[in-house]
Amino acid sequence: MHFNAFFASLALAVTFALSANADTIVAFSGSSCDGSAGNTVQCDGSCHQFGGRHSVRTSGGSSHCITFFENTSCSFVEGQGGTAIPGPGACQNVNTGAGVGSFLCAPSTICEV
């Protein structure tokens, strides 16, 4: 019984350690990941605002699907927005042909929308 409790605690600690080191993304006001930087957020599929930003860069060792939306709520509308799958640490210019109001960064290269 103590053996199982020990390994359950160890597995939980490893899970928290790995999630704390999850890949992140930051958006920039410049088109080449320059200019002012926005908040650094996790690539966990949550919605983030993108107003006044023109490029993004992920950090960590994985590639991610980043989906951009014209609205500010990450709501899918056919023909509005776009996706990109930059490599780890690569800068991605965001030029969808229209204003981008929000984005989400998936935890993998599988797009969530």
**pLDDT for residue 72:** 95
**63 pLDDT more than 70:** yes
Work out the number of other CB atoms within 10 angstroms of the CB of residue 108: 14
Domain ranges of the chain: 23-105
User: What is the distance, to the nearest Å, from the Cα of residue 20 to the centroid of all Cα atoms in its chain?
Assistant: 15
Q: What angle do CA 14, 17, 10 make, to 5 degrees?
A: 25
In this predicted model, which residue has the larger pLDDT, 93 or 4? 93
Phi-psi bin for 8: left (phi > 0), alpha (psi -120 to 50), beta? alpha
81 in the Ramachandran plot: left (φ > 0), alpha (ψ -120 to 50) or beta?
A: left
The structure tokens 């994985």 sit at 62
What local confidence, expressed as pLDDT, does residue 20 receive?
43
Closest CA to 54 of 1, 95, 8, 106: 95
Record: fold of 23-105:
Gamma-B Crystallin; domain 1 (2.60.20)
Give the global pTM: 0.77
